[in-house]
Amino acid sequence: MITLIGSPVQAVYVAEQETATERADESFKFICRHILEHGSYDLDPRPKYSDGTPAHTYSVNHVVQTYDLGKGDFPMLSLRNIAVMSGIGEILWIYKDQTSCLKRLAEYGVTWWDKWDIGDGTIGQCYGKTVNDHEIIGDLIKNMKNDPDSRRHIINLYQYDDFKKTHGLKPCALYSQYSVRYEGNESYLDGFLLLRSSDFVMAGAINQVQYIALLMMLAQICGFKLGNFTCLLVNCQIYDRHVDPVKVMLERESVPANPYLYINPEKKELSEFELKDFKIMDYPRKEINTKNPQLKLDIGIWFNFKIKAVFSIKRLLF
Catalytic center residues = 172
Please report how many Cα atoms fall inside a 13 Å half-sphere around the Cα of residue 302, on the Cβ side.
12
Q: Which amino acid is at 289?
A: N
Distances (CA, A) of 262 to 96, 120, 216, 268: 18, 36, 9, 15
Cα separation, 227 vs 247, in Å, equals 34
Cα separation, 192 vs 180, in Å, equals 12
Please report how many Cα atoms fall inside a 13 Å half-sphere around the Cα of residue 263, on the Cβ side.
23
List the beta bridge partners of residue 285.
Answer: none
Please report how many Cα atoms fall inside a 13 Å half-sphere around the Cα of residue 270, on the Cβ side.
21
Angle between helices 243-251 and 200-222 (to 10 degrees): 70
Cα 36 off chain centre by: 22
Q: Is 142 left (phi over 0), alpha (psi -120 to 50) or beta?
A: alpha
